[in-house]
């Protein structure tokens, strides 16, 4: 008797956007019993029956279509490894929780093999000094070589220019680039290798004896592992308390059990210091993923993981999907970091997905932070996560002595500089003694907006509802869309000549510091100086080797680095991040200050941290200065509860974008009514987004609040269905569950 014909649901190769839904195919007799969910198959597609590849998501014994119209699967893709059983479950979880399509979720979960040639990320690096380049630019100008002049002027202002910027925003051809390289003006940096630690760095990280606090954590978690108990843990440990050492021991334990480890770390904190410690312990069983890898390189790492060539993967968010055969442990360092949340659809949070993956694979989840997220700390408070505390620095050394300086008082005492008298005094002292100083400013470039002192007019980007920022010379740049223009000499509104930037950026801090300390070596680290690959590491290792005495920077400098020579950290305007209209503004401010202050005094010598602010009474600043996380948590949680924000409730943000303001707003109002009809109780908006227009697109937001997360995901799913059947008029909609940045 004939076996019953079987059919397969196939998601066509995940790299193609339009084909969101599964298509039905017949499983030919010879392959029945071989093809199962997860198989990688070849199928004919479309009118021309072009051969495509896809994943089987389900095998069934019937189809809803006319069976005679169903095509046959051609075969199994040679040499392919089928998707892990759990991949589909994880993709389905992501789709159900955060929205979007299954195809989008699969793209996140399953690394696609890139056929295209890897794209080299090139950066043009200045070789000649500025003056010479400027004179060459003048010459090119005289000869009417416009492109060349433009590129030269850009190069005079920037040490490094990414190639994408040259061909994109500057619209300069690669021919011009080549000619500059030939003439020795600049060179092209094409490195796309992540720097592996050198042998000497590896040897420097000798194993240490765990202290009592560390030992307690390791014993407790290892005990659970031995007992076959898998669980979730949060290590709340001050900076330098030895969390990384604990992670290393736990990883070692899990490897001994024959299982694998995923170590998540925010991209920005992925430094050679951390890598060196893992390489020292585990050698070539470790591999690293990072966002500057090509899809092909990432795919190769996944293959190595599948084949058992490695046991530990270190990487950002996406490393979570490394297809290890038997995951035993997921570690999430700096678990509070916003970069753990995806910024594109599906907007998943690595913490939640990690918990799901651990559940599916029977692994444990260990999270660590000096400033835990309110989400994790609340879960710990409620007994869902086991909490450990490490209150002292492992390598000895005291936490920095913090002082809050009221900038309003400085001003009234006649000090108009961006450095308070106390900060200046300490800088003098520390530099005199040959110690190192870090200055932190939560901004980049001359990112200050330009406004008229007479009429108050602010120069805005013509395409976005944001002020333009003044950069070196007289260039205005929009940091949202990249629009560049010249700063007008007179106010476009009243004609006044008092048109100036108000606030300082890192570039300006550097300029001032150079004037104050002409003989001191200075490094600056921000988005502009780290645009090229490897630049980030170069600056950090230069500073750590003592090649400079002062490091000026943005957020980037405060994350997880160990500089024993630093004895003073100056936070120039601590409340800059408080003014943001976002329910997480206080949390972010607290974290930034606490982390920045944690950079001082990590060596033998005691450290100082100076916190300059216009709002010395804000609880975020007071608690951070006292390094009192508990007190901050209580204050902040009370606010979230009374105002109704996560984690007290769940929040679904729906964002609508459209070129036509009226139509977008109308669709938004219509959607709000539909959502109300689904029974949602707390629906806010639609309102224009914080930044109400970007790249000419008007943006509206609707917020839905509920303590019940499944209720919210149901509302989202119903809304998606509703929109699919509506006339969208070129309007885009995005869903974001528990956003980390308020839109």
Binder of residue 496, out of ligand ADP, Zn ion, none (CB less than 5 to 8 A by kind): Zn ion
Using CB under 6 A as the binding rule, whether residue 395 contacts ligand ADP is answered as yes
Q: How many residues does the chain have?
A: 743
Residue 392 binds to ligand ADP (criterion: CB under 6 A) = no
Give the footprint of Zn ion on residues 444-473 (CB under 5 A).
452, 454-455, 457, 461, 463-464
Q: Nearer to ligand ADP by C-beta: 205 or 342?
A: 205
Within residues 194-223, the interface with ligand ADP by CB under 6 A covers 208-211, 214
**Could you give the C-alpha distances from 70 to 8, 45, 73, 405, 693, in angstroms and in order?**
10, 11, 10, 74, 47
Q: Which is nearer to Zn ion, 42 or 463 (CB)?
A: 463
Please report, as residue ranges, which positions from 493 to 522 form the binding site for Zn ion (by CB under 5 A): 493-494, 496
Query: What whole-number distance in Å separates Cα of residue 67 and Cα of residue 462?
Result: 56
Nearer Cβ to ligand ADP, position 325 or 396? 396
Q: Which does 483 bind (CB under 5 to 8 A by kind): Zn ion, ligand ADP, none?
A: Zn ion
Do 10 and 23 form a contact (C-beta atoms < 8 A)?
Answer: yes
Judged by CB under 6 A, which of 239, 342, 345, 373 binds ligand ADP? 239
Q: Which of 240, 448, 616, 685 binds ligand ADP (CB under 6 A)?
A: 240
582 forms part of the interface with ligand ADP (CB under 6 A)? no
Give min distance, CB of 238 to ligand ADP, in A: 7
The answer to whether the CB of 418 falls within 8 A of the CB of 509 is yes
State phi, psi for 317 to the nearest 5 degrees: -25, -50
Q: Which does 245 bind (CB under 5 to 8 A by kind): ligand ADP, Zn ion, none?
A: ligand ADP
CB of 249 to ligand ADP, least distance (A): 10
Q: From Zn ion, ligand ADP, none, which one binds at residue 464 (CB under 5 to 8 Å depending on kind)? A: Zn ion
**Per-residue contact string for residues 22-41; x = within reach of ligand ADP by CB under 6 A:** --------------------
371 is an interface residue for ligand ADP by CB under 6 A: no
SS3 585: helix
- Cβ nearer to ligand ADP, comparing 438 with 476: 438
**Choice between 389 and 628, CB closer to ligand ADP:** 389
How far apart are the C-alpha atoms of 418 and 503, rounded to whole Å? 10
Task: Quote the least distance from Cβ 743 to Zn ion, whole Å.
Answer: 17
Nearer to Zn ion, 452 or 740 (CB): 452
Applying CB under 6 A, what is the total number of residues that bind ligand ADP? 16
∠ CA(554), CA(557), CA(558), 5° rounding?
100
Q: Is 480 in the site for Zn ion (CB under 5 A)?
A: yes
- Burial per residue of 631-643, b for 16 or more beta-carbon CB atoms within 10 angstroms, e otherwise: ebbebbbeebeee
237 contacts ligand ADP (rule: CB under 6 A)? yes
Torsions phi, psi for 620 (to 5 deg): -60, -40
Task: Rule CB under 6 A: say whether 244 interacts with ligand ADP.
Answer: yes
Among 152, 202, 491, 675, binds Zn ion (CB under 5 A): 491
Nearer to ligand ADP, 331 or 468 (CB): 331
Q: Identify the residue among 465, 483, 511, 562 touching Zn ion (CB under 5 A).
A: 483
**Sheet of 436-440, strands arranged across:** 401-406, 608-613, 566-571, 436-440, 550-553, 522-525
Q: Which does 244 bind (CB under 5 to 8 A by kind): Zn ion, ligand ADP, none?
A: ligand ADP
State the nearest-atom distance from the C-beta of 243 to ligand ADP, in Å.
3
Q: Which is nearer to ligand ADP, 276 or 452 (CB)?
A: 276
The sign one gets for the Cα dihedral 209, 211, 217, 219 is: positive
In the complex with ligand ADP, which residue's Cβ is closer, 511 or 562?
Answer: 562
CA distance to 100, 126, 313, 354, 366, per residue, from 263 (Å): 27, 36, 6, 11, 9
Distance (Å, whole) CA 513 – CA 570: 13
CA angle 141, 145, 148 (to 5 degrees): 95
Q: Judged by CB under 6 A, does residue 243 bind ligand ADP?
A: yes
Question: Which of 243, 261, 278 is CA-nearest to residue 358?
Answer: 261
Which tokens sit at 618?
């804000």
Q: Give the pairing of strands 499-501 and 450-452.
A: antiparallel
Please give the helix or strand (H or E) that residue 9 lies within, else none: strand 6-12
Give the DSSP letter of residue 318: G
Taking CA atoms, 563 is separated from 219, 275, 501, 536, 697, in Å, by 30, 16, 34, 15, 44
Is 387 one of the binding residues for ligand ADP (CB under 6 A)? no
Q: How far is the CB of 336 from ligand ADP (least distance, A)?
A: 14
Count Cβ atoms below 10 Å from residue 322 Cβ, excluding itself.
Answer: 23
**Do residues 429 and 606 touch, judged by C-beta distance below 8 A?**
no
Is 562 among the residues that bind ligand ADP (CB under 6 A)?
Answer: yes
Tell me how far the alpha carbon of residue 471 is from its chain's centroid: 25
Nearer to ligand ADP, 218 or 499 (CB): 218
What are the tokens at 133?
Answer: 């380049």
Total residues at interface with Zn ion (CB under 5 A): 15
- From the list ligand ADP, Zn ion, none, partner contacted by residue 241 (C-beta under 5 to 8 A by kind): ligand ADP
Residue 601 CB, nearest approach to ligand ADP (Å):
12
Task: Give the interface segment with ligand ADP, choosing from 221-229, 237-245, 409-417, 666-674 (CB under 6 A).
Answer: 237-245
- Distance of alpha carbon 578 from its chain centroid, rounded? 20
Residues paired with residue 260 on neighbouring β-strands, in sequence order? 327
Distance of closest approach, residue 285 Cβ to ligand ADP, in angstroms: 20
- Give the other-Cβ count within 10 Å of 389's Cβ: 15
Residue with tokens 């046959």: 72
Per CB under 6 A, 271 contacts ligand ADP: no
Q: Which listed residue (201, 245, 352, 582) binds ligand ADP by CB under 6 A?
A: 245
Which of Zn ion, ligand ADP, none is residue 371 near (CB under 5 to 8 Å by kind)?
none
DSSP 218: H
CB 441 → ligand ADP: shortest distance, Å? 23
| Least distance CB 564 / ligand ADP (angstroms) | 8
**C-beta of 702: minimal distance to Zn ion in Å?**
24
CB 328 within 8 A of CB 226: no
Would you count residue 555 as binding ligand ADP (CB under 6 A)?
Answer: no
Q: How far, in Å, are 443, 463, 468, 740 from residue 695 at the CA level?
A: 22, 5, 13, 22
- Report in angstroms how near the CB of residue 153 gets to Zn ion at its nearest: 21
Question: Rule CB under 6 A: is residue 267 a binding residue for ligand ADP?
Answer: no
Which residue do the tokens 């209580």 mark? 634
562 binds, among Zn ion, ligand ADP, none (CB under 5 to 8 A by kind): ligand ADP
Min dist CB 696 to Zn ion, Å, is: 9
User: To 5 degrees, how large is the angle CA 103–CA 25–CA 14?
Assistant: 20
Cα–Cα distance measured from residue 134 to residue 131, given in angstroms and rounded to the nearest whole number:
5
The token pair at 426 is 């300490």
Residue keyed to tokens 């991209």: 267
The distance of closest approach from Cβ of residue 660 to Zn ion in the complex, given in angstroms and rounded to an integer, is: 18
Nearer to ligand ADP, 137 or 261 (CB): 261
Pick from 331, 255, 738, 294: which is nearest to 533 by CA? 294
Min. distance of Cβ 667 from Zn ion in angstroms? 23
Q: For residue 72, how far is the Cα from the chain centroid?
A: 43
734: closest CA among 665, 662, 654, 648?
654
Beta pairing class for 386-390 and 186-189: unpaired
Q: How far is the CB of 397 from ligand ADP (least distance, A)?
A: 8
In the complex, the smallest distance separating the C-beta of residue 206 from ligand ADP, rounded to whole angstroms, is: 8
Binding region for Zn ion (CB under 5 A): 452, 454-455, 457, 461, 463-464, 478, 480-481, 483, 491, 493-494, 496
Binding region for ligand ADP (CB under 6 A): 208-211, 214, 237, 239-245, 394-395, 562
């Amino acid at each position: 008797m004939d076996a019953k014909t079987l059919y397969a649901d196939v998601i066509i190769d995940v790299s193609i956007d339009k084909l969101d839904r599964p298509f039905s195919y017949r499983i030919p007799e010879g392959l029945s019993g071989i093809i199962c969910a997860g198989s990688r198959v070849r199928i004919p597609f479309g009118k021309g029956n072009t051969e495509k590849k896809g994943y089987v998501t389900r095998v069934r014994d019937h189809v809803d279509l006319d069976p005679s119209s169903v095509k046959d699967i051609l075969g199994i893709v040679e040499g392919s490894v089928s998707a892990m059983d759990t991949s589909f479950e994880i993709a389905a979880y992501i789709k159900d929780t955060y929205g979007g399509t299954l195809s989008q979720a699969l793209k996140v979960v399953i690394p696609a093999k890139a056929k295209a040639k890897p794209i080299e990320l090139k950066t043009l690096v200045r070789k000649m000094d500025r003056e010479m380049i400027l004179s060459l630019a003048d010459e090119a100008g005289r000869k009417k070589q416009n492109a060349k002049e433009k590129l030269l002027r850009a190069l005079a202002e920037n040490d490094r220019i990414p190639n994408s910027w040259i061909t994109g925003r500057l619209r300069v051809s690669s021919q011009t680039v080549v000619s500059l390289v030939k003439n020795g003006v600049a060179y092209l940096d094409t490195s796309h290798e992540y720097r592996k630690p050198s042998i000497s760095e590896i040897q420097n990280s000798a194993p240490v004896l765990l202290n009592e606090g560390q030992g307690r954590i390791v014993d407790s978690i290892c005990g659970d592992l031995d007992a076959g108990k898998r669980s979730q843990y949060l290590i709340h440990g001050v900076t330098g308390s030895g969390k990384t050492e604990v992670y290393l021991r736990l990883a070692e334990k899990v490897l001994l059990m024959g299982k694998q480890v995923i170590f998540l770390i925010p991209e920005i904190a992925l430094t050679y210091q951390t890598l060196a410690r893992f390489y020292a312990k585990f050698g070539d069983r470790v591999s690293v993923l990072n966002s500057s890898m090509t899809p092909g390189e990432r795919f190769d790492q996944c293959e190595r993981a599948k084949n058992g060539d490695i046991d530990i993967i270190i990487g950002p968010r996406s490393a979570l999907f490394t297809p290890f055969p038997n995951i035993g442990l997921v570690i999430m360092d700096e678990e509070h970091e916003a970069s753990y949340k995806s910024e594109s659809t599906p907007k998943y949070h690595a913490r939640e997905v990690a918990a799901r993956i651990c559940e599916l694979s029977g692994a444990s989840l260990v999270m660590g932070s000096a400033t835990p997220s309110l989400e994790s700390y609340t879960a710990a408070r409620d007994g869902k996560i086991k909490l450990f505390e490490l209150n002292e620095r492992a390598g000895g050394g005291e936490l920095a002595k913090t002082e809050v300086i009221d900038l309003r008082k400085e001003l009234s005492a006649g000090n108009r500089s961006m450095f308070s008298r106390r900060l200046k005094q300490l800088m003098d002292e520390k530099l005199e003694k040959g110690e190192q100083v870090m200055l932190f400013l939560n901004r980049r470039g001359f990112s200050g907006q330009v406004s008229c002192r007479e009429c108050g007019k602010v120069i805005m980007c013509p395409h976005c509802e944001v002020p333009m920022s003044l950069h070196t010379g007289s260039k205005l740049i929009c940091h949202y869309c990249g629009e560049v223009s010249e700063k007008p000499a007179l106010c476009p509104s009243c004609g006044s000549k008092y048109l100036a930037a108000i606030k300082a950026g890192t570039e300006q801090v550097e300029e001032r510091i150079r004037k104050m300390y002409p003989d001191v070596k200075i490094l600056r680290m921000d988005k502009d100086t780290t645009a090229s690959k490897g630049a980030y590491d170069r600056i950090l290792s230069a500073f750590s080797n003592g090649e400079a005495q002062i490091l000026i920077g943005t957020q980037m400098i405060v994350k997880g680095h160990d500089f024993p020579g630093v004895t003073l950290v100056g936070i120039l305007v601590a409340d800059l991040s408080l003014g943001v209209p976002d329910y997480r503004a206080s949390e972010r401010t607290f974290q930034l200050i606490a982390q920045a202050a944690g950079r001082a005094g990590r060596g033998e010598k005691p450290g100082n941290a100076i916190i300059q602010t216009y709002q010395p009474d804000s609880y975020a600043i007071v608690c951070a200065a006292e390094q009192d996380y508990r007190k901050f948590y209580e204050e902040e949680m009370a606010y979230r509860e009374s105002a109704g924000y996560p984690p007290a409730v769940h929040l679904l943000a729906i964002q609508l974008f459209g070129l036509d303001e009226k139509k977008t707003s109308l669709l938004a109002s219509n959607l709000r009514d539909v959502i109300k009809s689904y029974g949602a109780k707390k629906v806010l908006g639609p309102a224009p987004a914080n930044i109400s227009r970007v790249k000419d697109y008007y943006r509206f937001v609707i917020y839905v609040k509920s303590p019940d997360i499944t209720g919210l995901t149901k509302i989202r799913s119903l809304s998606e269905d509703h929109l699919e059947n509506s006339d969208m008029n070129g309007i885009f909609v995005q869903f974001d569950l528990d956003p980390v940045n308020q839109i």
